[in-house]
Chain A
């Protein structure tokens, strides 16, 4: 039906207009009388205000045998206070049209509030209540523990989460908290009670070691007064946060298959640890990782998806586990995706070939240019909402980075050349230092994977 094309008038590809300036927003940094650090950022037009509070209650601080107490504490913050029962608190929050999430991760606990700006005062007062006077009722903690135990089988059944769990266990020494599930295991969660939750709260939650980030259209809001009346009433000692543990890992090349008899796909997670944002190589590593597997047109998907049709998509990415100003932090460098069971061997073989080719021939200038144009160009899109800006500002604090890190990153990305990006990609993904986790049908995939010779293969349950 080329007649349709024949009728349409074609025009040459248009050229870009003049770019308009955009910069990652600079927050104002201050502190309340109780020592709480506050970052604020006015974003005109953003009617939903995002508030993130970072508590210096890292998973590493959980007492021996109580993995998951941080998670239960985070959830229990909103399950009753000195002024409201759990049900009342949830009702009051939803009456504001607000959402409140809290989760515990390696660097600390993050509490995230989103609310229409007109109800910010009421929602902030509820947030402050949750932080300064949680009741941790025994019955509610019992319920949260039981609920958490019931969640565990669902997580085990999810192929991508199961793979992430296995990779952490493989990479990190057992004594490091990051080798174990963030939200605890059945064995550890079972032992958590209200006393343990309160003890963790008392030891690690206080304004002097916390940071609040407030982003949105703050026109007409007297934020200092509002914060003073809410989060400003939170009290606690001035004790320093605990030092962060140094992260070590064993990335000796090997393959672990988590057996899933009958699975129609194999979940892949290939990883090791590498530089975090404090390392000068970060910008080059971001570009190199993008070129390898950041998108559908990156090297991995060009072969695995768009040529072979083995997958719906495979991505290479970096995820900071713990960013530390002293250089002992680490990021997970990984490739993940799922491939049809019967092509698991060929797909892994192709992935290895893609990485080998990159190491041998390097990236092209064109690839580097497109990557930089994308990574820098999408910034105004990516940071349209208050929540996105707040999340990055909070990440920076959590990773001990300066407030202008992201703003400066764009200039560093633009200044990074092809040679540096190639070197970073090659050292991020060396074929002899990659741990491969496969969640799939071992009876079908183990032999083809062994035949690849990419490392010893072990099958687990």
Chain B
């Protein structure tokens, strides 16, 4: 049993109430009056896993179209009105969902609700070919900027395609392909909206300095008359065998700055106890500067510039454990791979030490507190648990579940999953393009969000 940072850290005093409108819209409210701000978060249960062959990237492209006006809102009005009210906003698309969010000064909450309702109910009255063509170009430039024009930028796409077989709903990533983006038509966008942007396919969370009764009355007023509509097809089955059954490898020869070893391991689904155990295993192995891989590769062998593990949590398919090692100059990938295998095998046999377990749980607990430190973070977590697991209250106990995982469970999941026959491997070999003389700087580093694409 883990220890906790604060008596109420399990939930940070967070409480939530749930409601459902007659048209099926689920509503989650959570009060917190410490700061005069309110977050509105709307998750639609649609992501790139719902896309069909030949139309990859449509969910994300559609997310952009949601900011191009609706019946009562002209052009970029959604952005203009929220920003003019002192709010901030965006939307993101991942494999499993599309979310839209506004954080507002508390006295401007009603505006955000009105805006979200207007586009949920009337987007198609404003959607036209010009918006589609424009946002298609914007998204293609997003793809270039975040994936095609940066070193290793397509690694995520390549590993995902290896880890999930052809035809699997998670085989392609949310950004989609250039050819499919080109092929998307206005009718595709309309059909997508009609199918997935229904009140019954969404969860709305409102968190912060709110009056719950008043908020609920506004939600009823603005969203209540949006007609219910069904007809959403069940997503294609994402289940797969627990292990791949044989290592998959791809060598990439590109003009990258150094050799790199990347790998994706198939892991238990999000929302399961084994999934939390896997998170702890990856944290012990590659979650910080005291992790086993950092100590081995960066500190002792000095064979890597950076080495770490990340977790891509997925509920509708196996999650992915994400290994990323950038090699030091002159080091062969075979040496790194042997060291990684050595560490993983040792961990699978021995499991975490009590000290490692304590550190990993403390780190995951802090990450949880970080997510709950803002009203927007809380709203997003409530939506996540409501959409993916059917119960927003699970957000309140999530950290308690992580802290209750035992060392043996961590060892067991590592032994079962972090094996060479359960991974897809990408080996980067630089082709040696020219380089300049020096470095900088100031870098607004591109925010590389692995799981989703923003507006």
A residues in contact (CB < 8 Å) with B: 1-2, 4-5, 7-11, 13-14, 16-22, 44-48, 86-87, 90-91, 93-99, 114-119, 143, 146-147, 149-162, 164-166, 168, 180-187, 258, 261, 263-265, 267, 295-297, 302, 305-312, 319, 332, 336, 338-340, 369-370, 373-374, 376-381, 384-386, 460-461
The reply to whether A90 and B288 contact each other, CB–CB distance below 8 Å, is yes
Given A258-B436, A381-B103, A91-B359 contact (CB < 8 Å): yes
The reply to whether B141 and A311 contact each other, CB–CB distance below 8 Å, is yes
- Does B157 make an interface contact (CB < 8 A)? no
Q: B6 contacts which chain A residues (CB < 8 A)?
A: 47, 116-118
- Does B251 make an interface contact (CB < 8 A)? no
The reply to whether A10 and B437 contact each other, CB–CB distance below 8 Å, is no
Q: A374 contacts which chain B residues (CB < 8 A)?
A: 83-84, 86
- Does B258 make an interface contact (CB < 8 A)? yes
Of chain A, the residue at the smallest CB distance from B104 is: A381
CA distance A44 to B34 in the complex (A): 7
The reply to whether A181 and B226 contact each other, CB–CB distance below 8 Å, is no
B residues in contact (CB < 8 Å) with A: 5-6, 9, 12, 32, 34-37, 71-72, 75-76, 79-81, 83-88, 103-111, 114, 118, 121-122, 124-125, 133-142, 144-146, 148-151, 190, 194, 209, 218, 221-222, 225-227, 229, 256-258, 288-290, 295, 298-299, 302, 305, 326, 328-329, 355, 358-359, 362-363, 365-366, 369-370, 373-375, 433-446, 455
The reply to whether B257 and A154 contact each other, CB–CB distance below 8 Å, is yes
- Which 5 residue pairs spanning A and B have beta carbons closest together? A377-B86, A309-B137, A165-B440, A97-B362, A116-B5
The reply to whether A5 and B71 contact each other, CB–CB distance below 8 Å, is yes
Given A158-B150, A384-B35, A164-B443 contact (CB < 8 Å): yes
Distance to closest chain A CB from B431 (angstroms): 11
The reply to whether A305 and B138 contact each other, CB–CB distance below 8 Å, is yes
CA distance A139 to B151 in the complex (A): 31
Distance to closest chain A CB from B179 (angstroms): 15
Given A154-B326, A156-B435, A7-B225 contact (CB < 8 Å): yes
CA distance A153 to B438 in the complex (A): 9
The reply to whether A339 and B124 contact each other, CB–CB distance below 8 Å, is no
The reply to whether B305 and A90 contact each other, CB–CB distance below 8 Å, is no
Q: B363 contacts which chain A residues (CB < 8 A)?
A: 94, 97
Of chain A, the residue at the smallest CB distance from B80 is: A297
CA distance A261 to B435 in the complex (A): 12
Q: B87 contacts which chain A residues (CB < 8 A)?
A: 377-378, 381
The reply to whether B438 and A150 contact each other, CB–CB distance below 8 Å, is no
CA distance A22 to B209 in the complex (A): 13
Distance to closest chain A CB from B217 (angstroms): 12
Q: A380 contacts which chain B residues (CB < 8 A)?
A: 35-37, 105
Of chain B, the residue at the smallest CB distance from A9 is: B225
Q: A377 contacts which chain B residues (CB < 8 A)?
A: 85-87, 105, 108
Distance to closest chain B CB from A130 (angstroms): 13
Of B36, B218, B445, the residue contacting A161 (CB under 8 A) is B445
Distance to closest chain A CB from B121 (angstroms): 4
11 pairs of residues in contact across A and B, judged by CB atoms under 8 Å = A16-B111, A22-B35, A48-B369, A91-B290, A94-B359, A98-B366, A160-B445, A186-B438, A296-B455, A312-B138, A312-B141
Of A11, A147, A258, the residue contacting B222 (CB under 8 A) is A11
The reply to whether B299 and A116 contact each other, CB–CB distance below 8 Å, is no
CA distance A319 to B442 in the complex (A): 9
Of chain B, the residue at the smallest CB distance from A92 is: B290
Given A90-B288, A297-B79, A373-B436 contact (CB < 8 Å): no
The reply to whether B194 and A45 contact each other, CB–CB distance below 8 Å, is no
Distance to closest chain A CB from B153 (angstroms): 10
CA distance A221 to B302 in the complex (A): 41
Of A5, A16, A94, A183, the residue contacting B85 (CB under 8 A) is A16
Q: Which of A45, A307, A460 has the most CB of B within 10 A?
A: A45
Q: B83 contacts which chain A residues (CB < 8 A)?
A: 295, 297, 370, 373-374
Q: A264 contacts which chain B residues (CB < 8 A)?
A: 144, 148-149
Of chain B, the residue at the smallest CB distance from A153 is: B257
Q: A332 contacts which chain B residues (CB < 8 A)?
A: 442
The reply to whether A385 and B110 contact each other, CB–CB distance below 8 Å, is no
The reply to whether A5 and B125 contact each other, CB–CB distance below 8 Å, is yes
CA distance A267 to B141 in the complex (A): 12
The reply to whether A340 and B144 contact each other, CB–CB distance below 8 Å, is yes
Given A1-B124, A370-B80, A373-B86, A160-B444 contact (CB < 8 Å): yes
Distance to closest chain A CB from B34 (angstroms): 4
The reply to whether B121 and A5 contact each other, CB–CB distance below 8 Å, is yes
Q: Which of B289, B369, B439, B445 has the most CB of A within 10 A?
A: B439
Distance to closest chain B CB from A169 (angstroms): 8
Of chain B, the residue at the smallest CB distance from A22 is: B36
CA distance A11 to B122 in the complex (A): 12
Given A263-B149, A381-B103, A90-B440 contact (CB < 8 Å): no
